[in-house]
Chain A
Amino acid sequence: MHDVILPKTGIYEDDVVLIEWIVAEGSWVAVGDPIFVIESEKVEMEIESNDEGWIHLEVEPGFQASIGTRVAVVADTELAYRGLVGES
């Protein structure tokens, strides 16, 4: 299980806004896949996945929080993902 966080992307350390999910709930993501878009320092940028697996999105677009806040989780296996979202 890997946390996906709102990343620090430059020299400033202000809050970050997640403005769009590029991937859908439950989809499989690879390392380097763009998974969401943030706005930071007045610039929009795509954030790429550091991990591979099944992604569970935890916040809605428009979510604003400090750097390091978790916004999704990537599960290594489909089984782990199901456990995560309470499916059997």
Chain B
Amino acid sequence: MTADEILSAGLRMMAKIRVFEDRVLREFAKGDMPGFVHTYHGAEAVAAGVCAHLDDADMITSTHRGHGHCIAKGCDLSAMVAELYGRETGLCHGRGGSMHIADFDRGILGANAIVGGGISLAVGGALAAHVKGDGRVAVSFFGDGAANEGIFHESLNLAAIWGLPVVFVCENNGWAESTPTSYATSVADVASRASAYGIPGIVIDGADYLDVFEKAGEAIERARSGGGPTLIEAKLTRMRGHYVGDPEQYRSRVERRAARAADPLASLAATVVLGDYLKDVEAELDSAYESALSAPWPDPSTVEDYVLAPPSESNTLASFAPSTVREGSYLQGLNEGLFEAMRRDPSVIVIGEDIAGGAGLGEPIEGAMGGTFGVTKGLLEEFGSGRVRDTPISEAGFVGAGVGAALAGLRPVVDLMWASFAPYCFDQIFNQAAKMRYMFGGQTNVPMVLRMAVGAGLRAGGQHSDTLYGLFAQIPGLKVVVPSTPADAKGLLLAAIADDNPVVFLEHMSLYRTTGPLPAEPYELPIGRASIIRAGDDVTLIAAGSTVSLALQAAEQLEDMEGVSAEVIDLRTISPLDVETLTVSVARTGRAVVIDESPPRCGIASEVAAVLTEAVFDRLQSPIARVTAANSPVPFSPPLEDAYLPSVDDVVRAAMRM
């Protein structure tokens, strides 16, 4: 293309974005567009100049101010407008709205309304491109406010050490909502922060289309050819308020007028003739608004559609066929599950702290542990550092990268080491992994497994002993699995990796060294199915993970000492709960004790008790009892920790009170 052609194409794209956003201002004011919107006025040259170098396979992450990114990446205007109105015909079937537009056919991994939320997803997209070697590039657009989020720093570091094909584009419009960047940011140029991560950082004029086009082109080409990431800071003027209707009290009328006048289109328009192009865009929008406003609303009965992906038949192994059972440990079950999953599917990768025993991207270290507990031992030797990677201690960064990699075609197994570290990356679990499929109207799945060690009893103290069962189970969009035996650990892990949903896989520390029957061959156990592991008639003891052995011991005592016949149910999955197995059992026994190693408030024990009360109240002969951990953090001192945990005696006493 000649320089004139480049400029002409750029101006057309910028004008298209501007016409779209001017129309949004007008239409939003009328009151029919739900919620709130943020427009892209003043930044048009950035989206247009960057996306000019990308094709549909290349990935972007966008922001709450993302209409420009979507248009420049090729979204259909009509489907965008319908999404702004929450209609079924919108890009995300109305589940996303302005701040959560995605179009996976155009490589848009979603607009993200969490500041900085998209940055680690783009790193994950780039990781997928890198592992697959398919030449794709990921670009993350974000604002200057995001450069003060931890995720920005974790993500740049991760992308830098792995040399990933990603370009970070900071649109610095001088404001984080109403807070000036000059106050909130410690450096004059966000780009200078690139030097902290050893990658190029460049400042460009975000109002100058040719400057954006040229510099972004160089960075994207470098990424595509294996040269690693770049941080680009585009200096802009935010022509309008933070959101449409922002009273902008933080700037004077004079400043507002100056901002409105700092128009990157004005200077270009004088040099390029748009002809009838603007009229064509207006006409396209006329028809887009007309069809959006007459389009159907989503059917209210579909409110829970898209939360979880349906089971995929193609990817399932034979269910449990114990032909060659031998004795093995829980840890071995997990290790064998990982080996099998990686052997049968090249898109499975394993990332996490210390999982390759400190080898990083280098050669395996002889005798290395393979994770803190040894679960990942040997994987690096067989599968190499392309698929088995140590991460820095950047939980938000690498969990977010796992989500992005899942969006971009991999099946990551992410090792978070301890569940107590999950709060550090709660955004990536809660706002990203769990919500992506729903917010984007089922356009994508998030097939990832988040492995974590849980549980008290090993004198690890308050920040290495949590279970967080109730916390995870309360989040729509996640499945939560809690295996209690070596055979379950293997079969459920294989099922979790094959599942198209994000699965939180909680391994109790006290169980790693326990042994039991372990089938040698690969098999899957169904997620969402509980198991009756001891039959009984008088009371049902309901447990998960480490409390299963408490329940079994209590059942023996009840039998031997009291002549009470106790049935024991191992939940195995705490989200979704196997309500049917629970209700059938309790309807028959008439009594239930629910044992939960989490603190009592709003936990699994409460949930199971509530579900049973609703389902079989008329069959209950006694109130349901909850036996839980104490309502405290996990204490260190052994007598205190023992008092914290539910015990066999607690279970027996609860059953005998019925």
Real binding pair = yes
The answer to whether B197 has its CB under 8 Å from any CB of chain A is no
Q: A interface, how many residues as a size bin?
A: 10 to 19
The answer to whether B654 has its CB under 8 Å from any CB of chain A is no
CB atoms of A46 and B245 under 8 A apart: no
CB atoms of B247 and A8 under 8 A apart: no
CB atoms of B29 and A32 under 8 A apart: no
Which residues in window 379-397 of B have CB below 8 A to A? Answer: none
CB atoms of A8 and B29 under 8 A apart: yes
Measured CA separation A66–B26 after assembly (Å): 16
Residues of B contacting A26 in the complex (Cβ-Cβ under 8 angstroms) = none
CB atoms of A8 and B31 under 8 A apart: yes
Digitize A36-58: 1 where CB-to-B-CB distance is under 8 Å, 0 elsewhere: 00001001111000100000000
The answer to whether B249 has its CB under 8 Å from any CB of chain A is yes
What is the CB-to-nearest-CB distance from B285 to chain A, in angstroms, rounded to a whole number? 15
The answer to whether B131 has its CB under 8 Å from any CB of chain A is no
What is the CB-to-nearest-CB distance from B108 to chain A, in angstroms, rounded to a whole number? 25
User: Which residue of chain A has the shortest Cβ distance to B247 in the bound complex?
Assistant: A45
Most buried by A among B29, B35, B244, B248: B29
CB atoms of A7 and B245 under 8 A apart: yes
The answer to whether B344 has its CB under 8 Å from any CB of chain A is no
What is the CB-to-nearest-CB distance from A12 to chain B, in angstroms, rounded to a whole number? 10
User: Which residue of chain B has the shortest Cβ distance to A9 in the bound complex?
Assistant: B245
The answer to whether B257 has its CB under 8 Å from any CB of chain A is yes
Measured CA separation A40–B628 after assembly (Å): 49
CB atoms of A50 and B30 under 8 A apart: no
Measured CA separation A66–B247 after assembly (Å): 19
The answer to whether A79 has its CB under 8 Å from any CB of chain B is no
Measured CA separation A67–B25 after assembly (Å): 14
Interface of chain B: mostly helix, strand, loop or mixed: loop
Which residues in window 202-259 of B have CB below 8 A to A? Answer: 243-249, 253, 257
CB atoms of A9 and B30 under 8 A apart: no
Residues of B contacting A10 in the complex (Cβ-Cβ under 8 angstroms) = 36, 243, 245
CB atoms of B31 and A67 under 8 A apart: yes
Residues of A contacting B243 in the complex (Cβ-Cβ under 8 angstroms) = 10
Q: Which of A11, A13, A40, A46 contacts B253 (CB 8 A)?
A: A46
What is the CB-to-nearest-CB distance from B515 to chain A, in angstroms, rounded to a whole number? 57
What is the CB-to-nearest-CB distance from A13 to chain B, in angstroms, rounded to a whole number? 6
The answer to whether B28 has its CB under 8 Å from any CB of chain A is yes
CB atoms of B30 and A44 under 8 A apart: no
CB atoms of A11 and B29 under 8 A apart: no
Q: List 14 A-B contacts (CB under 8 A).
A: A8-B28, A8-B31, A10-B36, A10-B243, A13-B31, A32-B257, A40-B245, A43-B247, A45-B247, A67-B29, A67-B31, A68-B30, A68-B31, A68-B32
Interface residues of A (CB under 8 A from B): 5, 7-11, 13, 32, 34, 40, 43-46, 50, 66-68
A45-B249, A67-B31, A68-B31 known; 19 new pairs, CB 8 Å cut-off, are A5-B30, A7-B30, A7-B31, A7-B245, A8-B28, A8-B245, A9-B246, A32-B257, A32-B260, A40-B245, A43-B247, A44-B247, A45-B245, A45-B248, A46-B253, A50-B25, A50-B26, A67-B29, A68-B29
